[in-house]
Every structure is written in C-alpha cells, then in structure tokens.
Amino acid sequence: MSAPLVVFDKVEKQFGDFVAVKQLDFEIREGEFLAIMGPSGCGKTTTLRMLAGLDAPTVGEIRLGGRVMNDVAPHDRDTPLVWQSLALFPFLTARQNVEFGLKMRGVGAAERKERALKWLEKMGILEFADRDISTLSGGQKQRVALARSLVMEPQILLLDEPLSALDAHLVIRMQAVLTDLQRELGITFVYVTHSQSEAFAMADRVIIMGKGEIAQIGTPKDIYRAPANQFVAEFVGRNNILSGNVQALSNETARITTPSGNFTVPTNTVQLTQGAKASFVISADLVHISLGEPDGENKAQCKLISEEFVGSMVTLFLEDAHGQEFKVQMQERELSKFDLNSGDQIWLSWDTASAHVLDQS
C-alpha cells in the first residue's frame, strides 16, 4: 500500500473551553473516497476545516504528503473545498467563479478562460458560462462550485455536505456525478456528511464521529454489518440492538440472556466474560420472518406494529411481549407472500453468524 496522503497525528482542537475534536488519529489514503459522518456538532466540519487550514489544531500535527501543515496559511495550501453554502461569488458569472482560483494563482487570462470552459463543459453547464450566479438553479450552482474547485487540479478535494441543499432526486444524480469524477480523476475526496445514504453510497471508507471523537473507521460494509459500539449501531439505524448478560461461554459462541429470551452470538470480535453485560446487533435485512415457530437458537415472537415502503424494499417495525423493538428489512415481493396486517403475531429468527457483539467501552 502506498504512503498515506494525509495523516492526522493525535489532533485536538479547542475553541476556548470547548473541545471540538480530540484524539484524531487517522490516515487518508491517496486516491480514496473517504466520508466523515456523524450527527451535527460531532466535529466533522472542524476536522475538514483544519485540513483546509481554516482552523488550526490546538494539539497534534496534520501532515499532507509528508509536510507538516499546522502553520501553512490556507491560501498556500492546495486543498480546495466545496462549501455547504457553496460560497459562490455572487458578483461574478459562472465562468469568472471557476476562473477565480487560477486568477489568484497568477494564471494568464487566456489559459484561465480555456481551463474554466473545459471544466464547465465537463460538468455539463457550458451554456451557462456567462450567466450570473443568481440566475442558476441549485443543481447548476452545485456544478459551478465543483468546477471552481476542480479547475485547480488538486490532489485532494474537500467536500462539506455539498448536497444538503438539493432536492432528493438531484442528490442521487449528483452522487453519481461525484463518484464518476472521483474514479476518473483518481484524486482523493474527503466528504463530510450527516447522511448515511450519501456516505455509504459513495465512500470507499467511512469515519464515524461522535462527540468530537472517532467512533469507528471502516468500509461501509464493515460499519453496517459490524458496528464497533452502541453509538455507531444506533447512528447507522437499520439494525436491531439487544442487551443482556453473558450466561454461557463456549469456544466460538456465547449464550446471552436478555429480557426477550436467550440468544447465541459469535465471539470472534470481542472478548466476553461470564456474567458480564453484553450487547449485540443484527442487521435488519438479516432477520427472517415466519408464521409458525422456526427452528434454530435465535428467535423471538413479535407483534407487527407498522410497515414502511421505500421502493421495492419494505421495513417492518415490530415489538415483542417485553417491549423490545425489532426492525426487519425485506423485498416487498417476499413480504407479499405472508399477507400480514398490523397487530399480527409473527416469528423472527436469524443465524448466529448474523449477530455482531458490540464493544462495551
């Protein structure tokens, strides 16, 4: 594996008495699409701003391509940022906006124009080159903002919730534009978002942040199937979290007693001790349903509360006799075989290997 492009070395940032982020220790690989995700106020934007030089770390070191960046002014860095507010210059046309960075870097007028037009064309908005920014639609402005950053031909592009102002259907379109661009250019994207669907759809790796700290780093699949702790499991959403005590330990599995019954979990990821508290998750799409009581070690009888359709997928919300909530995600055509109504009692079951034990710390 090649050397990392960016290293955050025990970085901490305080604003007065407020600690925005702490113990930031991670690497960004060259050419990867990295998403930093977390609820608002988790420090993800501060992390991005430190990389762009707009905020300076209080403690620790940020290195870009081996060079310590702590004291490098923002305008001496090559880390263009696509802003949440887009921050396009309202008194300039689309083309002048794209040319701005080149002008600041002293590129001549003819070359500026040529490069700006090339990028406007690439983004499919060449015909709006000489239009005022205020006359463009949200999606068009978004493309101008991207072109304005990419025309600088950076090694790394920073994106701060760039799609949050767009309509849902435009978000999907822009996600495709972004992933295609990233693959084509081969440059590193660092993408800050609070949206799980955006992060999981585009990123090679995701950093989940909570309360100024990194909660987990991994591929979207790692995070979805094997959340490291309760915070990540809850943030990721579509899964079932059960808590109880370790009743019996065997070689590769443990038996956990919860108010909803006894369940078997694999112990390959976390060390468990007899009698200790333990929590585990099962992704909603790995739970099976049946009308009669199924075989196997992991099952629960539940009452159907409600259904939620998203296209061909449906999510069932259920509750057992002890108030434990369950979610099941499945294909709509699978569900239609059962002919269920809310209030019906059904059985849930899952394979032991589908469960994932959370880190208690």
Chain residues in the site for another protein (CB under 8 A): 52-54, 73-75, 77, 79-81, 83-85, 87, 89-92, 100-101, 103-105, 133-134, 148-149, 152
Nearer to another protein, 34 or 145 (CB): 145
Q: What is the Rg, in whole angstroms, of the alpha carbon atoms belonging to the chain?
A: 24
CB 2 to another protein: min, Å: 26
Torsion of CA 257, 262, 264, 270, to 10 degrees: -20
Nearer to another protein, 89 or 309 (CB): 89
| Sequential DSSP letters for 159-180 | EESTTTTS-HHHHHHHHHHHHH
Nearer to another protein, 90 or 323 (CB): 90
CB 94 to another protein: min, Å: 14
Count the neighbouring beta carbons within 10 Å of the beta carbon of residue 50.
24
Nearer to another protein, 107 or 357 (CB): 107
Distance CA(251)–CA(184), nearest Å, equals 47
Exposed / middle / buried, residue 317 (Cβ in 10 Å: 0-12, 13-18, 19+)? middle
Nearer to another protein, 97 or 253 (CB): 97
Side-chain-side CA neighbours of residue 279 (13 Å): 19
3-state secondary structure of 185: helix
Q: Per 3-state DSSP, what percentage of the chain is helix, strand, and coil (rounded to 5)?
A: 30, 35, 35
Nearer to another protein, 95 or 356 (CB): 95
CB 8 to another protein: min, Å: 19
Q: Which residues pair with 207 in a beta bridge?
A: 36, 217
Distance CA(49)–CA(347), nearest Å, equals 49
CB 66 to another protein: min, Å: 21
Q: Which two tokens stand for residue 180?
A: 């295609």
Distance CA(243)–CA(281), nearest Å, equals 9
Q: Which residues pair with 345 in a beta bridge?
A: 303
Nearer to another protein, 92 or 172 (CB): 92
CB 91 to another protein: min, Å: 5
CB 43 to another protein: min, Å: 18
Distance CA(2)–CA(150), nearest Å, equals 23
CB 273 to another protein: min, Å: 51
CB 95 to another protein: min, Å: 15
Nearer to another protein, 147 or 302 (CB): 147
- N- to C-terminal Cα separation, the chain: 31
